[in-house]
Amino acid sequence: MLVVLVVTGATLYLAERNAQARYQEGLDAQFQDQMRLFTALQEARRQAITEKCRALSHSVRLRAALEEEDVEDLYRNALTELQGILNAKASSSDKADPEIPRASFFRFLDAHGSVLSPREFPAGPIDPETLDQTLELMSRALKNVKEQTVGYIALNQGSDLTALREVVLTKVLDWDGKELGALVLGFPVRNIAPADATQSGDFNSGIWLSKQLYIDRKVRAPDQHLLAQGVGEAMTLHNTGYFPADLENGPYLVFYKALDPHTQLEPAYEVCLYPLAASLREQRARRWKIIGFGALVLGVGFVASLFLAKGLSKPVDKIVAGSVENFTLRRQAEQELRETNQELEKALRELKTTQQQVIQQERLHALGQMASGIAHDFNNTLTPILGFSDLLIEKAGLLDDKPQAIKFLKLLRTSAQDAASVVNRLREFYRPLDKNEEFPAVDLPALVTQAVSLTEPKWRQQAQAIGATIRVDTNLQPVPPVAADESALREALTNLIFNAVDAMPTGGVITLETTTENGEAVLRVSDTGTGMTEAVRQRCLEPFFSTKGEQGTGLGLSMVYGIIERHRGRLDVQSAPGQGTTFIIRLPIAKPAEKKVVAATFEQTSRPALNVLVVDDEPRVCEVISAFLRSDGHGVTTASNGREGLEQFKAKPFDLIVTDRAMPEMNGDQMAGFIKKVSPNTPVILLTGFGALIEVTSAQSKDVDVVLSKPVTLGALRKTIEGLLHAA
């Protein structure tokens, strides 16, 4: 009996605790999310305003008018310039798009901080006397402001947000940097909570300014006082954070964030009230349900045990059944919790869509950077391709020297593969780096040798063309294999060599060394070039930092840095003007197991000859794939679109279909569908130019066994076919 009681009690306790912990976790995450959104949105909005003000402060006419203290022209011109930003009618403010900030007033201060009163010029719908007095007080801080500051002012004794204006104070300087005065733009302050979240105890926001809290929506005076005090205490410790507060209508989490920790105006804090009441009620109700049900189970068990004292097994069975039910109940409670969360999310959705726009812009920006990086890398990989093919075409005799020709051809292939992987990175861009990403083992000295050969067209021929002689010395000690993305690392090396060449316009020596130090593989790339000043050295890894003027994208070294970081390695730069530069790459050594995996993939097995149908509307691709397959002893039939392929298939059976996806008349997916209807066991390989992007954007057709992304290599095709045969 005691055992039953203890077990049931413990189960209940654990169930309750577990649910509570999860709930707390969910709540915390939600809270953090919301705050992130809140601040991101505020920042974006504020940035738009401050940018606009900065632009305005550079207006020639405003400067001229301020310099002459010509108030009439000052306000007339400002009114023209501010047309888009000023609130045309105060009454329309509640309907305005919150994303387009509308100023409610603007004023100019002269160089001494006195308000230049606009007199008859309409500069906002607010009583100018109160406003000008308030600004006069604020302007005492003017001399401490460097260029621009954001703050809040209170226009009257009210305690809600309508009493406040967010002000952006921007100094106006003349061309020589002399202070002419300042522009103050004022914006109404809004509750950032979504308009539909009006139920009591909802998310609410306000501003803390000069020991007073300005907030809307039925926050009562004692609560306001409590909150103001709370923020006042918390802010002495941190610029941002949150604390719990017990208000009249329930518990809240209060988030606060200093508007600008360095502001020269009155310190102001953004405050957010995040209600816990609804969620706590929910949680409490659930707790009672669990406890009540547990008590019931216990009671029943106890009564049953009285009646059936001899047979312990029966009540135990019952309790076991009860625990199952208990479990179901917990599930139910979790379900309810999920639903509450969904409701909260709904309230957030509005905020999220606007934030999405901000993110999208950021992403486009980053994509632009990517694109120019890609173009840069792509050109790098094209250099050896063009160089070696030129060599082979011009010196036809080289083709008779078979080992030499094959060496060149192999280098051509390697470069082309690298080009393909550069394009692949566009796709990688959408994929965040997997923390558990594992690289195959790579032999560093071999990679260095390869990179030196690959870059030969640049450091030998190109350098000679401008009359410089560059020698490359290598001192490659054997190093244990490193875990690396071979083509990325090769690209990094290529970039470093190119960089060295560019640093030696009059020739010199590039030295590449590999050693093992402190259990790490170390690669040194040194040049005897112009070297860098300390200032340049410190910045040389930054994106878009370049000393090469028009020629440089400023991306080469930042990319090298990115690649090494991705390999969990380190990149150090040693340099001094006239002393040359040394780049030191340290890479972790691969675990022994990784090597095996790579080795296994290249094992050759005996291959049966297959009858293959190749379908592609691009004759050259068709040709290459056919050549690959024939070289492995397979029989090949080709077709130029889906319909033709299907006819071929009807005429005679095939062991394997290799088809392009996008084709005229009938695409690869449709054809695969028809073929699978007739012969479900015939494997279909779909070739696509978009590779993994398709997996992301649309569901892979069920009629296709494997999707292979172009460009297809012999190895990849062979491996895929072997895999399919194995599976069959």
Partner 1 sequence: MQAQSLILVIAAGLFFQNGGVWAQVIEGKVELPQESVERIANQRYQGGADAHTGAPDLPAAVVYLEGALSRIESPGAPLISEMAQKNINFSPGILPIQVGTTVEFPNLDDTYHNVFSYSKTKRFDLGRYRKGEKPGVILFDKPGVVTLHCEIHGTMRGTILVLDTPYFQRTDEHGGFRLESLPTGRYLLKAWISEDDVRVQSVELKAGETIRVNFPAK
Residues 511-530 that bind partner 1 (CB under 8 A): none
Q: How far is 706 from 687, CA to CA, in rounded Å?
A: 9
- Tokens (6 digits) for 447: 């990679």
Q: How many residues does the chain have?
A: 728
Residue nearer to partner 1 on the CB measure, 62 or 646: 62
What track of x and - describes contact with partner 1 for positions 381 through 410 (by CB under 8 A)?
------------------------------
- Mark out the alpha helices in 116-250 (DSSP H runs): 128-138, 221-235
Residue nearer to partner 1 on the CB measure, 81 or 669: 81
CA-derived radius of gyration, the chain: 36
Cβ pair 277, 251 in contact under 8 A: yes
Q: Residue by residue, what is the 3-state secondary structure of 85-116?
A: CECCCHHHHHHCCCCCCCECEEEEEECCCCEE
Smallest gap from Cβ 545 to partner 1, in A, equals 18
Among 68, 517, 647, 665, binds partner 1 (CB under 8 A): 68
The closest of 348, 472, 370 to 431, measured between CA atoms, is 370
Q: How far is 514 from 477, CA to CA, in rounded Å?
A: 6
Q: Across-strand partners of 587?
A: 521
Residue nearer to partner 1 on the CB measure, 70 or 485: 70
Piece of the chain touching partner 1 by CB under 8 A; list 61-69, 154-162, 352-360, 465-473: 61-69
Smallest gap from Cβ 75 to partner 1, in A, equals 12
What is the β-pairing status of strands 611-615 and 656-660? parallel
Helix, strand or coil, per DSSP, at residue 494 = helix
For position 172 contacting partner 1 by CB under 8 A, the verdict is no
For position 67 contacting partner 1 by CB under 8 A, the verdict is yes
- Per DSSP, 589 falls in state B
Q: Report CA-CA distances (Å) from 307 to 5, 310, 311, 318, 346.
A: 17, 8, 9, 14, 53
Residues 91-130 that bind partner 1 (CB under 8 A): none
Among 2, 91, 146, 175, binds partner 1 (CB under 8 A): 175
Residue nearer to partner 1 on the CB measure, 65 or 587: 65
- Tokens (6 digits) for 31: 């809270």
Q: Across-strand partners of 522?
A: 515, 586
For position 61 contacting partner 1 by CB under 8 A, the verdict is yes
For position 73 contacting partner 1 by CB under 8 A, the verdict is yes
Piece of the chain touching partner 1 by CB under 8 A; list 175-183, 380-388, 406-414, 445-453: 175-183
For position 334 contacting partner 1 by CB under 8 A, the verdict is no
Piece of the chain touching partner 1 by CB under 8 A; list 172-180, 350-358, 496-504, 651-659: 172-180
Size of the site for partner 1 (CB under 8 A): 13
Residue 578: left (phi > 0), alpha (psi -120 to 50), or beta?
left
Residues 31-60 that bind partner 1 (CB under 8 A): 58, 60
* Phi, psi for 567 (deg, rounded to 5): -85, 10
Residue nearer to partner 1 on the CB measure, 27 or 74: 74
Residue nearer to partner 1 on the CB measure, 22 or 58: 58
Cβ pair 422, 373 in contact under 8 A: no
For position 64 contacting partner 1 by CB under 8 A, the verdict is yes
Among 83, 95, 120, 177, binds partner 1 (CB under 8 A): 177
Cβ pair 434, 478 in contact under 8 A: no
- Tokens (6 digits) for 445: 């000295």
For position 692 contacting partner 1 by CB under 8 A, the verdict is no
Q: Across-strand partners of 105?
A: 186
Among 94, 97, 129, 176, binds partner 1 (CB under 8 A): 176
Piece of the chain touching partner 1 by CB under 8 A; list 20-28, 170-178, 277-285, 326-334: 170-178
- Per DSSP, 632 falls in state T
Among 52, 63, 190, 567, binds partner 1 (CB under 8 A): 63
Residue nearer to partner 1 on the CB measure, 177 or 519: 177
Interacting residues with partner 1 (CB under 8 A): 58, 60-61, 63-65, 67-68, 70, 73, 175-177
